[in-house]
Copies of this chain bind each other. A is one copy, B any other.
Amino acid sequence: MRGTVAIVATMDTKGVEMAFLKERIEALGCATLVIDIGVFEPEGIRPDVSRHEIAAAAGSSIPELVAGGQKRRAFETMSEGAGRKIDELYKAGRFQAVVTAAGGTGTHLVSGALQALPIGVPKLIVTTVASRDVSSIIGSKDVTLMHAVCDIIGLNFMSKGLLATAAGAITGMIVPKPVPPADRRAIGLTSFSPLNGCAFSATTGLRGLGYEVVPFHTVGSGSMAMEALIGQGVLRGVLDLSLHEFVDWIHGGYCKSIGPDRLETAGRMEVPHVILPGGLDMAAFECTSLEGVPAHLHDRLFVKHDFRSLIRSSGEDMARIAAMVAEKANRAKRAPTFVLPCRGWSSVDAPGKPFYDPEVNQVFVSGLRSLLGKHVRVVEVDANINDEECAKVAVEEFHREFQRKP
């Protein structure tokens, strides 16, 4: 037996289809645990965890939901119950992977529950509503979305093909997961491509000092996943090379999806945290012409990138972000260290490059210095962020913090 796959779906409308999925998963050598999150009588399948247990987990009951007759209330109750029950079953070792197949309602009903499972547990959602904004479905978890091009209603040659493919995927995803090497300290490093020089040098330096470096892409969800992993105790420190998500957050850019606890988990968990202002010079937008950029930014310096375009941040942006970052740093149970390069904060914010503007950057530096508590260490480096010298200082500061008893 390779493990147990939880099959979570509304078995009143998807019972027959889930029975087929169950059969395919079992044929591939896995056990199954069928969890019914529908409100009405299941059809064509016998659930292992009933809808009554799900409703009860949210302090309600199926008769109460049916009598109420309110679709929205039933949705919220079953969603809450599914979250609690799935978490409980996972912690009890009842399954090692989870799969669901659904349309819009079912997908959103289950996706909240999947957010509660740790990163590393295979999570597959087969859904007709994949080709759109799925940030509320995926969040910052390692969810896999399989786009169901045909609807999952009834069995036909296409839906059978889809469900057989899903069975192959979810059973295949149950693989042994490597653990952090026992002799090395696992730490996070945030970056994005305009900081490649710095990220490469810093990673090399940190590895040389015995760290296992896990890079995270600062596209919103990536750094939020890192925050979660620090909170879980998986990562024991962070070298935050990039703050550029804050500019996107202000202007609704490509990497805007950070949550309120961005930059805060390291301080709360009292692990070493070094912060650089990488990418604060830019906001990114998914467009190739100025029309794709919000109107209030049309007077900004504009540069085409790949399928995205970049806008130069302003002094006003810098002052606002300095205040946010300083407030977080001052509130930390263990304060971060700031390393501030003086000659630009990305590959386009470098001498001779279009976004190079030390005066604007200085607004951030001055703001930060004036607002930070005296206990917060700030180190300036007379270099561009991608110069060897900057990475060297960042690594030294991180290592120094790591060796210091908090």
Contacts and interface: CB of A to CB of B under 8 A. Distances in A.
Interface of A: 28, 71-72, 75, 103-105, 108, 119-120, 122, 128-136, 138-151, 153-154, 156-162, 164-165, 167-181, 186, 191-193, 199, 203, 212-217, 219-222, 225-226, 229, 254, 257, 286, 288, 304-308
A328 to B, nearest CB: 22
Contacts of A120: 161
Contact of A222 (B122, B151, B165, B171): B151
Given A132-B134, A221-B130, A104 B308 contact: yes
Contacts of A144: 144-147, 169
Contact of A151 (B71, B132, B161, B215): B215
A150 B221 CA distance: 10
Given A129-B219, A144-B146, A147-B138, A165 B175 contact: yes
Contacts of A159: 214
A149 B119 contact: yes
B130 A140 contact: no
Contacts of A148: 142, 217, 222
Nearest to A162: B142
Contacts of A71: 305-306
Contacts of A307: 75, 104-105, 108, 136
Contact of A157 (B141, B173, B179, B216): B179
Contact of A173 (B75, B168, B191, B306): B168
B134 A142 contact: no
Nearest to A70: B304
B145 A191 contact: no
A178 to B, nearest CB: 4
Counting every copy of the chain, the complex holds 2
The 5 closest A-B pairs by CB, nearest first: A172-B172, A149-B225, A168-B172, A131-B221, A128-B217
A187 to B, nearest CB: 10
Given A72-B304, A134-B131, A212-B156, A219 B161 contact: no
A214 B265 CA distance: 48
A362 to B, nearest CB: 29
30 contacts: A71-B306, A72-B305, A103-B192, A104-B306, A104-B307, A108-B307, A120-B161, A128-B222, A130-B221, A132-B133, A134-B134, A138-B147, A142-B149, A144-B169, A147-B221, A148-B222, A150-B226, A153-B191, A153-B203, A154-B203, A156-B212, A156-B214, A156-B215, A157-B181, A159-B214, A161-B175, A164-B175, A164-B176, A165-B175, A169-B170
Contact of A219 (B72, B128, B168): B128
A213 B157 CA distance: 9
A287 to B, nearest CB: 11
A190 to B, nearest CB: 9
Contacts of A145: 130, 144-145, 147
Nearest to A164: B175
A131 B140 contact: yes
A168 B176 CA distance: 11
A348 to B, nearest CB: 11
B161 A225 contact: no
A135 B130 CA distance: 8
B175 A173 contact: no
A157 B178 contact: yes
A281 to B, nearest CB: 17
Contacts of A75: 306-307
